[in-house]
Every structure is written in C-alpha cells, then in structure tokens.
Amino acid sequence: MSTKWPSRVSAISGCLAMVGLLAPRGAAGQAKFEITPFFASFYALTTMSNDANGDGSNVKIQQTSAPTYGGRLTYWVSRTMGIEFAGGYSKSGIRAFSSDTGTGGLSFAVAGNIVTANARLLYRPARTNLHFIIGGGIVHRGGTFWKNEHDNDTTKVTSPAAILGAGVRASVTPKFALNVSLEANLYSFDPDGNATAMKSKLNADVLLSIGVPITLSK
C-alpha cells in the first residue's frame, strides 16, 4: 500500500488549517443542524500483533493505510457544545511483514475493510474555529479474511472504541467552509479469537479528514 495517502492529506490539511485559523471568527456561523460528507486517510499507528505465529519469528500484522469515505450529522446545542454521529468506510486490508533473517523476511497483504460508527460530543471554545472531539463507538472489520477468522476461531470482528480528536473549520468564503480534523479510534483487539498464537492488544487507528459542512437549519 502506498504511503502517499497520509503525506498528501497531511499537506492539504495543514494549509487548510492555517486558512481556518486566520479566518474571521464570526465566519463559522451558528448552524444548528449540519451534515458533513468527508474524505479521509486511514492510518494504523500500532500493529495488531508483533508475533502473529506465536513462535518467535516476529511476523507482524497491521492494518494498511487507505482512503476513507463517510459522513457526520451534527447538532449544535449551543455556540460551544455539539452532538455528532459519524460513520466511515475504509478499504483497509492487512499487511504481514517480517525482517527475520532466519526466514529471509516476508511481506504480503490481504484485502479487507473497516467500518466505523460512533457518537461524540464536540466542544468549540468561544471566538475560535477549533473544536475538540470525545466519544465512543465501534470498529468493525470486514472482508473474506476476517469472515474466515470469525467462522474458524470466533474472532470478534466488532470492537467497542473510544474516540478522541480535534478539528478546525477553514472558512474559504462566507458561505463555504471546510472542516479539517484528526481523530483516533482506541480499542482492544485479538486477531485470532480462540486460538492462542496472538493476544488482545491495544489498537490506535487515526483518521485525518477533510469535509464540507452543509447547513440543514439555523
């Protein structure tokens, strides 16, 4: 999987964040309901296992970086507090790799996907375009590989997750804005279920996203 997704989105989001911070504070408006379709880069900060075979060969498995598509529905209770529901779909598969000299090293990937769904609270400090995110939801793994793991080893492919993040609204024009956000899904996951080669491990998946908020009511 190409490493260009995170770097490209990082460069774009950095520029947009600067625009948002320099924009007039009143440009964000006081929308009550918003719907925000978004595009994101998915990146796994951690491996799912550092020894997938459980034999000391140190074969690591990790979710691959991938584009993500999704949407958010937001209700602003006040100027500073909001409630949001979000969902996303990532074409993230699995990469297995090892640099063990005894086996000659290996690297291969298996197709798959990740679906996220969550509810969160938003806090927007007064007179800024920044907002902070805290919430909870689920991370669901799909695809043939995970279906077989679930059928054979009763691997739980759906995990409860905590969500932490932050974002900024970049006002491009008085009527058009972009939301740039960085959020992490934190959860525990055991890749092989009832099998004993791997153990449950903390996972941290990051979404770096750019969305277009559409006002439904004020």
| pLDDT tens track for 128-186 | 999 999 999 999 999 888 888 888 878 889 999 999 999 999 988 888 999 999 999 99
Span 15-42, pLDDT tens digits: 444 444 444 344 344 568 999 999 999 9
Asked if residue 114 lies in contact with residue 92, where contact means CB atoms within 8 angstroms, the answer is: yes
Q: Point out the least confidently predicted range of 57-61, 73-77, 201-205.
A: 57-61
Tokens of 7: 């770097």
Q: What is the pLDDT of residue 116?
A: 97
In the CATH scheme, what is the code of domain 4-217?
2.40.160.20
Q: Which of these, 117, 64, 120, lies nearest to 93 by C-alpha position?
A: 64
**Separation between Cα atoms, residue 144 and residue 110, nearest integer Å:** 9
**Separation between Cα atoms, residue 118 and residue 185, nearest integer Å:** 10
Q: What is the DSSP string of 84-147?
A: EEEEEEE---EEEEE--TTTT-EEEEE--EEEEEEEEEEE--TTSSEEEEEEEEEEEEESHHHH
Cα angle: 12, vertex 73, 123; to 5 degrees: 75
Domain boundaries, given as residue ranges, for the chain: 4-217
